[in-house]
Structure 1
């Protein structure tokens, strides 16, 4: 494997599979098997999972909810996803810990940086849930923050598309997919990689971001092995 310690960002929508809502157990089991493979290869693996398959704070706010309240509900949705992924991993023998940014000691550990790093050193997968614990921040920003805190070498953003495009490929068949980008280009052109706060955090801490398609079986392993399967964003990357 190319990397020693990684942070994998999973969107909540990725857990739905072809469902319109909720969690597809077969999809979660497939993700767990791929994570187990990279862990067996010696990669220390941390995960941040979103909650958009259950509740998205921004949508709740757009529907008239108080934004902070909506965001807190979204954080709770990420805990449900994290516990589901934990169960799938432990069913196949992968030691896992869920750490939450909002205290709920009956079901998960509180987020403690040193404890998280110790779990990783022992080969346990650490799943960070409840976002950063603060409203108005996305789980993308949480992924960048946690990656910096635990000294991850890279952030892998697993999505439903095979990289970053200059336009929506679903709406524009001539949209161009980038192989590599630098942070400044992403920020200047507002490309849909991660939100601006997350990109800036990665830039300031020199953490590359790799965007790839999670729906293709084996892509997590390919990404960790360094295969060019998506788009890489970094400080020294050429735009191509």
Structure 2
């Protein structure tokens, strides 16, 4: 999606090219009946770029900051003036005024994409876990928070299956591949495989959130960014403790 600044620059550039081509303009209207393809192309680009700028790209984001209200009002007024203008020279003057007002706008800071990693993973599951972590990063940074929670459950299942195998030399993935997190934790306890009580509680929480995210409910669970982030941190903490 174009920004206000990029739309300004694009339209200004096209007007400069139109002027250099000496395409005539009249007080009442731009002359649009040109035989030369280059001129027709430039006029087409002018029209689309003008419409893009008149839509005031990025306005909704700028309105989140009350300090921008006066500047937004000034830009709206100048855009209305630009909409009525038919002279290329005067249009470029208006663009200059908009550019000057734009400098006073306070843009929100772009959030840095988050990344997740876990060190000291068993070699047997390291590649699989890293692939899931990479997918988890992509989902979270794309605001796919339910998908993020589902991946957290998958990471936990992989880690707990490995922990069970290391402790018992039995591979539940072969004997009970669809055992699920809750039953997997019960199996670990049955074999007296010690789990920190806090880990058990965290796993239970993540499992419940995963269930509400996956299965259809009367009121679907839609996690917030903060909830998803907390669950990811819980998940990573659990896995680190399992293999520390």
Classify the TM-score, shorter chain.
under 0.3
Larger Rg: 2
When you count helix as a share of all residues, which structure comes out higher? 2
When you count strand as a share of all residues, which structure comes out higher? 1
